[in-house]
Structure 1
Amino acid sequence: MTAGARMLLVAAIASGQGKTTVTAALARRLRRMGQRVHVFKCGPDFIDPMVLEQASRAKVHTLDLWMVGLEQSRQRLARAAREADVVLVEGVMGLYDGDPSAADLARAFDLPVLAVIDASAMAQTAGAVVLGLRDYGPVRMAGVVANRVASEGHARMVAASLRDIPLLATLPKQARRLPERHLGLVVPGEVADIDAILDELADQLQLDEAQWNALAPQLPDEALPEEAVAPLLAGLTVAIARDAAFCFLYPANVDTLEALGARVTWFSPLADEPVPEDADAVYLPGGYPELHGEALALAARWQESIRAAHASGLPILAECGGMMVLAESLADKEGRDWPMAGLLPGRVLMQPRLAGLGSQGLATNAGQMRGHTFHYSRLETPLAPVAWTVKHPSGAQGEAVYRIGSLTASYFHAFFASNPAAVASLLQGELE
């Protein structure tokens, strides 16, 4: 058992500064140095964790004071600090953005902050930015990574401006960047040379090893024992759609299903694979069905199997993209209409502006289940919702929840570990 790990929350003044790039480069670099690296992502997100998992070669779990909860976040951090040499937590948006924010998480667990600064259009002003980030909260500032630096001279100017805060690393302007699309980065499985890009970033990262080695290992405060999960799904098989169209899945969701006693199996609607015959319930997570409209429209075996599963009363839980493929049709960004499975009346249309974003909760007969929403499409349906999620922290009305027979569908992405009993209810066809 180790005496702790070097623990850092990687943050910035805003999105777009290079937090994911720096976290991935640092994780890959440290791993190549023989360090055991464990990476977390702060706040609701599916895509950044995929990149960070590719970089670190280990599962990337979510930390969030509301969605995951204080004690469960502490348990995950404490376990990681005992198993790894380095624990990196990538922040979300700007350091102080959101409620709760990445700064709230840092203060809750005494995590030192590693500030990522896009230095491409500044030099000495970097010091003012970093000192403001440190003092506004305040937070404990461990150091700075200057991203997109132009030269060694540029890096020296940045370092001199930081006063008593060390410049731990620099990263030059990148000729090749992690590609992006409307929901964020392109998922690693669709980038043929993703490992080459990550290796290049690790090679380009100029790490001050003396300053790095000066960072003290630490352990979070002792966490309460983890509560045992009742085996409410014991003996049942849950079939989960997983492919490029259905790729938004928290690792904790799968862990929760297994803790509930379920056997998890996988199938690919994109490959026209039907719902497995031994499935007792079906889980259709979100993803990018709008990018695969033609393939999904032509997947006759998949469509017939999900209609047959519904007709037989098999519980189906469909989230966001999983719901989109169950409408009568899906119109992509080019306006092309693709016929879908037709379990939900109406059509889904992509739009250029964001249609939903933020943390939300869903009331169930087992209590509130927490999660989030993030989508650029809208569902036009005559179907009346049976429930609505509640936005956090405002308490305003959130996403519609639809029920048709054994199907529960919504744009809401549930974080199963927030309420395992509620998950069991939903996958047994119950809601209220």
Structure 2
Amino acid sequence: MTRCPALLIAAPASGQGKTTVTAALARLYTRRGLKVRVFKCGPDFLDPHWHHLASGAPVHQLDLWMNGEADCAQRLHAAAQEADLLLIEGVMGLFDGDPSAADLAQRFGVPVLAVVDASAMAGTFGALAFGLQHYRPGLPWAGVLANRVGSARHADMLRSGLRAPGDWLGALMRVTTGAEAGTARVPGALLPERHLGLVAAHELADSQQRLDVAADALEGTPLGQMTAPDLQRWAVDFPLPAHTAVVPTLLEGRTVAVGRDAAFCFIYDANVQLLEQMGARVVFFSPLRDTALPACDAVWLPGGYPELHTVQIAANTGMQASLRAHVAAGKALWAECGGMMALMESITLADGSTVPLWGLLPGRVTMQRRLAALGPQQVAVAGQTLRGHTFHYSTSDCSAPVVARTARPGEAAEPGTGEALYGQGSLHASYFHAWFPSSPTATAHLLGGAGA
């Protein structure tokens, strides 16, 4: 049994400021010398970039369906053994989704810190906080933090509306021009967004300064003034799971090259960790800048933002030729979502222009202004079930052979539904983002490992 303070940062809806508060907490307590480990509830790639920067440690996903309960328990136990504070950022609203952030909090006994955008309310803030706390009996509760507050008087109004004064953990002020005299405040666009979510931390030159501004603002709240001993009020027991999965070394002696740069950045840290546990040597390369693959046995081309870098992709004919030679030699290439898009013949952008791509797959991609697909998915690979999700703003027309189709949890795959898994020689590609730990055997198959 390992005991460690833990908080699940949730909200009544998306867009309330969960990511900012989670990253600010991580940065604040890391600056004070505490070892903070952060998790993200649900299959999100972008928020973890900020949490990794804030905490200085890898960020893993926690999802009772995608991971499974045992995997979540194992990750929490391992983190609690080495950390002074665990933070879990929720997903959407507290009770949204199945499973929801509330399900995770209740399963592991992690107290919920509710972040509420209070910019357009006063007394209703107390009703909302009361409802979040009591809607589900037995929900562990830490308190509430008001975000985007207009003034000290506004904060007093919000605080006075709470049934339990002890629930008040402070207010973060709403401004768009930075700091005002004597008061630390959070800029309105502290963490900028675009069509797939937040801009990743590594894309902004001032990311660390943005986190410090948020941490400084939080430091003035009751929550931010808590010391390490104070945090023990939220200590949780994280037992070692009764059965710990043994990872088969199906990639022993193989080198897996993983694309990683501004265009290909949707990478679960846990996926890389699993490849290493399976015996692989993992090397990274930039599909945008490098003109050839590193020496490797398999390539993983992850998702990201190829649509924002089409000129550079098309111009990198050296990487195009290297990928072609890799596949022609019968070596495995797994491309997911953005990685698959880059392998198509062309892409039609939102402005109607069409740009050539690398052309390893016979097909074309078209960007949409609205979300084309979103949600948890699973797919059968090598007789195993590989879990993950889909989230994309483009559609594709591809004539490569379809070897499988994804399905929603609890549903069977049907022709013409879900996401296509294309198989062309040693190349496999799909819009599907895979959570490798859900099936090491299926992962090894996609990467040409033992039994492939």
Query: TM-score if structure 1 supplies the norm length?
Result: 0.95
In structure 2, the residue matched to 1:117 is 116
Alpha-carbon shift at residue 339 of structure 1 (Å): 1.3
8 Å Cα contact 2:5-2:231 kept in structure 1: no
> 1:37-48, aligned counterparts within 5 Å?
37-48=36-47
Return 5+ residue gaps in structure 1 as ranges.
none
3-state SS of the aligned residue for 2:303?
Answer: coil
In structure 2, what residue type is equivalent to 1:392? P
2: CA distance between counterparts of 1:210 and 1:407? 52
Alpha-carbon shift at residue 8 of structure 1 (Å): 0.7
1: CA distance between counterparts of 2:214 and 2:439? 38
In structure 2, the residue matched to 1:215 is 233
In structure 2, what residue type is equivalent to 1:154? H
In structure 1, the residue matched to 2:34 is 35
8 Å Cα contact 1:293-1:332 kept in structure 2: no
8 Å Cα contact 2:142-2:234 kept in structure 1: no
In structure 2, the residue matched to 1:348 is 365
> 1:205-284, aligned counterparts within 5 Å?
205=218, 206-208=220-222, 209=225, 213=231, 215-276=233-294, 278-284=295-301
Corresponding pairs, count: 430
In structure 2, the residue matched to 1:404 is 424
8 Å Cα contact 1:291-1:332 kept in structure 2: no
Moved more, 34-43 or 265-274: 265-274
In structure 1, what residue type is equivalent to 2:85? V
Alpha-carbon shift at residue 28 of structure 1 (Å): 0.9
Which of the residues 358, 378, 385 maps onto 1:361? Answer: 378
Which of the residues 165, 176, 191 maps onto 2:204? Answer: 191
1:217-243 deviations in Å (ceiling 9; x for gaps): 222244224222121111111111111
In structure 2, the residue matched to 1:54 is 53
1: CA distance between counterparts of 2:235 and 2:404? 47
Query: TM-score if structure 2 supplies the norm length?
Result: 0.91
Which of the residues 411, 421, 428 maps onto 2:441? Answer: 421
8 Å Cα contact 2:251-2:444 kept in structure 1: yes
Moved more, 265-274 or 236-245: 265-274
Moved more, 340-349 or 85-94: 340-349
2: CA distance between counterparts of 1:372 and 1:98? 13
8 Å Cα contact 2:10-2:112 kept in structure 1: yes
1:300-332 deviations in Å (ceiling 9; x for gaps): 100111111111111110000010011001222
1: CA distance between counterparts of 2:214 and 2:326? 46
Which of the residues 348, 351, 354 maps onto 1:334? Answer: 351
3-state SS of the aligned residue for 2:283?
Answer: strand
8 Å Cα contact 1:81-1:218 kept in structure 2: no
> 1:310-321, aligned counterparts within 5 Å?
310-321=327-338
Which of the residues 193, 197, 200 maps onto 1:180? Answer: 193
- CA shift in 2, pair 1:284/1:349, >3 Å: same
Which of the residues 302, 307, 322 maps onto 2:339? Answer: 322
1: CA distance between counterparts of 2:76 and 2:85? 11
Alpha-carbon shift at residue 82 of structure 1 (Å): 2.1
1: CA distance between counterparts of 2:159 and 2:330? 64
3-state SS of the aligned residue for 1:23?
Answer: helix
Alpha-carbon shift at residue 383 of structure 1 (Å): 3.4
In structure 2, what residue type is equivalent to 1:68? N
8 Å Cα contact 2:50-2:201 kept in structure 1: yes
1:169-223 deviations in Å (ceiling 9; x for gaps): 3211142321100000001111111111110111111331359547232222442
1: CA distance between counterparts of 2:232 and 2:152? 23
2: CA distance between counterparts of 1:46 and 1:431? 30
3-state SS of the aligned residue for 1:374?
Answer: strand
In structure 2, what residue type is equivalent to 1:207? T
In structure 1, the residue matched to 2:159 is 159
In structure 2, what residue type is equivalent to 1:143? G
Pair 1:308-2:325 in alignment = yes
Which of the residues 206, 209, 215 maps onto 1:202? Answer: 215
2: CA distance between counterparts of 1:366 and 1:87? 36
1:75-115 deviations in Å (ceiling 9; x for gaps): 11112222111111000000111111111111110111000
8 Å Cα contact 1:110-1:220 kept in structure 2: no
In structure 1, what residue type is equivalent to 2:258? I
1: CA distance between counterparts of 2:365 and 2:293? 23
2: CA distance between counterparts of 1:25 and 1:245? 26
2: CA distance between counterparts of 1:179 and 1:85? 29
In structure 1, what residue type is equivalent to 2:438? S
Which of the residues 345, 366, 391 maps onto 1:374? Answer: 391
- CA shift in 2, pair 1:214/1:59, >3 Å: closer
> 1:34-183, aligned counterparts within 5 Å?
34-138=33-137, 139-164=139-164, 165-175=166-176, 176=187, 177-183=190-196
8 Å Cα contact 1:364-1:431 kept in structure 2: no
Q: Root-mean-square deviation (CA), in Å?
A: 1.8
3-state SS of the aligned residue for 1:423?
Answer: helix
2: CA distance between counterparts of 1:241 and 1:210? 41
1: CA distance between counterparts of 2:20 and 2:451? 40
Identity of aligned residues (%): 53
